[in-house]
Amino acid sequence: MATWIVFLRAVNVGKRTYPMAELRQALTEAGYTDVETHIQTGNVRLTSSLRSRARLEAAVEQVLASDRGFEVAVVALTPAELTVLADDVEEISATAPPSGGHYVSLLKSSPTAAATTTIETDPPDRERLVVKGRAVHLLYDKPYHEAKRSNASVEKAMGVATNRNAKVIRALTQRWGG
DSSP 38-98: ETTTTEEEEEES---HHHHHHHHHHHHHHHHSS---EEEE-HHHHHHHHHHHHHHHHHS--
Final residue of a structural domain among 77, 100, 127: 77
Tell whether 85 and 158 lie within a shared domain: yes
- The percentage of residues in the chain with a pLDDT greater than 70, rounded to a whole number, is 99
Report the alpha-carbon distance of residue 104 to residue 89 in Å, rounded.
Answer: 8
pLDDT of residue 176: 97
Report the alpha-carbon distance of residue 72 to residue 62 in Å, rounded.
Answer: 9
Report the alpha-carbon distance of residue 16 to residue 91 in Å, rounded.
Answer: 34
pLDDT of residue 11: 83
Full residue range of the structural domain in which residue 162 is found = 79-176
Angle (CA) 159-6-19 rounded to 5° is 105
Question: CB-based burial of residue 101 (10 Å sphere; 0-12 exposed, 13-18 middle, 19+ buried)?
Answer: middle
pLDDT of residue 15: 80
Report the alpha-carbon distance of residue 165 to residue 35 in Å, rounded.
Answer: 22
> How many structural domains are present in the chain?
2
User: Are the beta carbons of 35 and 24 closer than 8 angstroms?
Assistant: yes
Tell whether 73 and 155 lie within a shared domain: no
Residue 14 has pLDDT above 80, yes or no: no
* Helix (H/G/I), strand (E/B), else coil: 12: coil
Mean predicted confidence (pLDDT) in 1-25:
90
* Helix (H/G/I), strand (E/B), else coil: 124: coil
Residue 100 has pLDDT above 70, yes or no: yes
Residue 13 has pLDDT above 70, yes or no: no
Tell whether 39 and 92 lie within a shared domain: no
Give per-residue pLDDT as tens, 24-54. Answer: 999 999 999 999 999 988 999 999 999 999 9
Tell whether 71 and 83 lie within a shared domain: no
Question: Sorting pLDDT into bands at 50, 70 and 90, what band is 171?
Answer: very high
Final residue of a structural domain among 22, 47, 77: 77
Tell whether 69 and 88 lie within a shared domain: no
Question: Sorting pLDDT into bands at 50, 70 and 90, what band is 62?
Answer: very high
pLDDT of residue 96: 81
CATH code, domain with 47: 3.30.70.1280
Average pLDDT, the chain: 95
Tell whether 71 and 125 lie within a shared domain: no
Mean predicted confidence (pLDDT) in 87-114:
94
